Amino acid sequence: MTRSEVQVRLTGVFRDVFQSPELELWDAMAARDVPGWDSMNNVRLILSVEAEFACKFTLREIGKQQNVGELMDLIIKKTT
């Protein structure tokens, strides 16, 4: 799966979880950039990403993610 394909599908997941249809993703985007991206919604996001990309993250992987770019890299690593 290419990075741009991951970004398109991940954008859909973000829009759904944060109920923000206009939301656009960029690599350095972090929790502070998205209203409502708190620790509770982060777990919701992770569950939705796991369902969308049919993969499972470890606790260490969840804790290490700092921004959207790192999450995309992890999805690519997990799905290839």
Partner 1 sequence: MEICSITFLFPIILLGTLYPFLPSLIWRQLALGAVNVICISLLLPTWSSAAVFFFFILSGYGVGVTLRKHPNRSILVGYISLFVAAFVYLKHYSFLQLVFPAGMLHSSLVIVGLSYMLFRQIHFLIDQYQGSDDPLDLWGYLNYQINIFSLVSGPITRYPDFREDWDRLEPLWLSRYDLLMAYGRIWIGVIKVMVLGAIFYHYYSFAAPLWTPGAPTAAKFHAIRIVYLFYFFPIYIYFNFSGYCDIVIGCGYLYGLRIPENFKTPFLSRNMIEFWSRWHITLGVWIKDYLYTPMLRAVLTRFPKRGGNLAFLCYFIAFFIAGVWHGSTWNFVVYGLLQGLGVSVAKLWEMLLTRWLGREGHKRYLASRPVHWAAVGLNFHYFCFTCLIFGLSFSGLRQLGLTLGLHW
Given candidates 22, 39, 54, 80, which one binds partner 1 under the rule CB under 8 A? Answer: 39
The reply on whether position 59 binds partner 1 by CB under 8 A is yes
Tokens, residue 67: 């921004």
Q: How far is CA 72 from CA 3, 26, 64, in A?
A: 7, 10, 13
- Minimum distance of partner 1 from residue 20's CB (angstroms): 9
Q: Rg of the chain over CA atoms, in angstroms?
A: 11
Q: Give whichever of 9 and 44 is closer to partner 1, judged by the CB atom.
A: 44
- Minimum distance of partner 1 from residue 77's CB (angstroms): 12
